[in-house]
């Protein structure tokens, strides 16, 4: 089925959070064949409290988890992506370490007994996401981060001050990564994978990350990971507040197909 017809099918169901009984067969087959999905979330809360920007309602997050569980996907942490998976795999990642992620997102993942990776900015832990200006929201403290690590979730490196690494030279990138790493170790955390703020990187970033003893780096992209991707720059798809399951499917499978056909 070609692009416009796919979009028409998705539009029919676009506000549904549970569509297994009516999902078009061709879409369900494609989703079951998808090898690796890497998803990027931020805040987790109601629109009234957290707004819509970079946020997802806990019930919608729950529907995303259930969607992949029903299709027998293996859930992994970012650090597990050091090797390309041999079976259907999904990775739920959460950038910045918002209080709302800990309060509302962790219970969802715990209820389903699946792991998550939370990437924190060491210079702002326990403060607020000041890089967002007037939209800044509270960030979790070290105690909360240690608790989710104890639960088996991953707490990863998201730099010391949330700068765009793509705008920095190698030495400044290395400083951002190492200072965050050292601060996390001092607080009893064990960062294994890294997440680029804004998904921003440049030609030096791979080497810098590797020399900082990281084997997995997570970026952003409008497509799924491919075996040709560097494991130091694995693309993730950003999830939006309005992404009910049909729009999630659109982001994961239909949109990449449309872009690749241009």
CATH class of the domain whose range is 35-240:
alpha beta
Q: Is the pLDDT of residue 233 over 60?
A: yes
Residue 6 CB burial class (10 angstroms; 0-12, 13-18, ≥19): buried
Give the per-residue pLDDT at 172.
Answer: 98
Mean pLDDT score of the chain: 90
Using CA atoms, how far apart are residues 182 and 208, in angstroms rounded to an integer? Answer: 16
Does the pLDDT at position 253 exceed 90?
A: no
Residue 60 has pLDDT above 60, yes or no: yes
Distance CA 170, CA 64 (A): 37
Over residues 4-32, the pLDDT tens digits come to 455 445 444 554 555 554 455 545 555 55
Average pLDDT over residues 135-143: 98
Tell me how far apart the alpha carbons of residues 176 and 172 are, in angstroms, rounded to a whole number: 6
pLDDT beyond 50 at 93: yes
Distance, C-alpha 115 to centroid of its chain: 12
Q: Where are the domains of the chain?
A: 35-240
CB 188 within 8 A of CB 224: no
Indicate whether 2 pLDDT > 50: no
At 146-197, the pLDDT tens digits run: 999 999 999 999 999 999 999 999 999 999 999 999 999 999 999 999 999 9
Please, which pLDDT band fits residue 1 given cuts at 50, 70 and 90?
A: very low
Asked whether residue 220 carries a pLDDT value surpassing 80, the answer given is: yes
CA nearest 224: which of 73, 36, 44? 36
Quote the strand ranges of the chain, DSSP E.
36-41, 43-44, 55-56, 74-76, 89-96, 117-120, 154-157, 194-195, 217-218, 237-238
pLDDT bracket for residue 3 (50, 70, 90): very low
């Amino acid at each position: 089925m070609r692009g416009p017809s796919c979009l028409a099918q998705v539009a029919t169901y676009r506000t549904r959070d549970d569509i297994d009984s009516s999902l078009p067969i061709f879409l369900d087959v494609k989703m079951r064949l998808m090898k690796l999905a890497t998803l990027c979330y931020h805040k987790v809360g109601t629109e009234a409290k957290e707004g819509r920007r970079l946020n997802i309602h806990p019930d919608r997050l729950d529907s995303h988890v259930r969607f992949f569980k029903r299709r027998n996907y293996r859930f992994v942490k970012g650090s597990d992506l050091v090797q390309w998976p041999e079976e259907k795999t999904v990775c739920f990642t959460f950038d910045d370490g918002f209080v709302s992620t800990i309060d509302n997102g962790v219970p969802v993942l715990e209820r389903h007994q699946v792991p998550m990776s939370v990437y924190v900015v060491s210079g702002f832990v326990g403060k607020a996401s000041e890089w967002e200006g007037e939209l800044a929201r509270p960030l979790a403290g070290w105690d909360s981060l240690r608790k989710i690590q104890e639960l088996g979730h991953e707490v990863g490196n998201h730099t010391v001050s949330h700068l765009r690494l793509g705008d920095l030279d190698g030495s400044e990138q290395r400083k951002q990564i190492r200072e965050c790493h050292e601060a996390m170790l001092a607080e009893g955390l064990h960062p294994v994978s890294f997440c680029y703020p804004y998904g921003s990187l440049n030609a030096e970033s791979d080497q810098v990350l590797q020399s900082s003893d990281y084997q997995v780096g997570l970026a952003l992209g409008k497509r799924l990971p491919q075996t040709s991707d560097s494991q130091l720059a694995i693309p993730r798809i950003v999830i939006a507040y309005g992404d009910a399951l049909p729009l999630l499917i659109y982001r994961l499978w239909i949109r990449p197909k449309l872009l690749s056909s241009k």
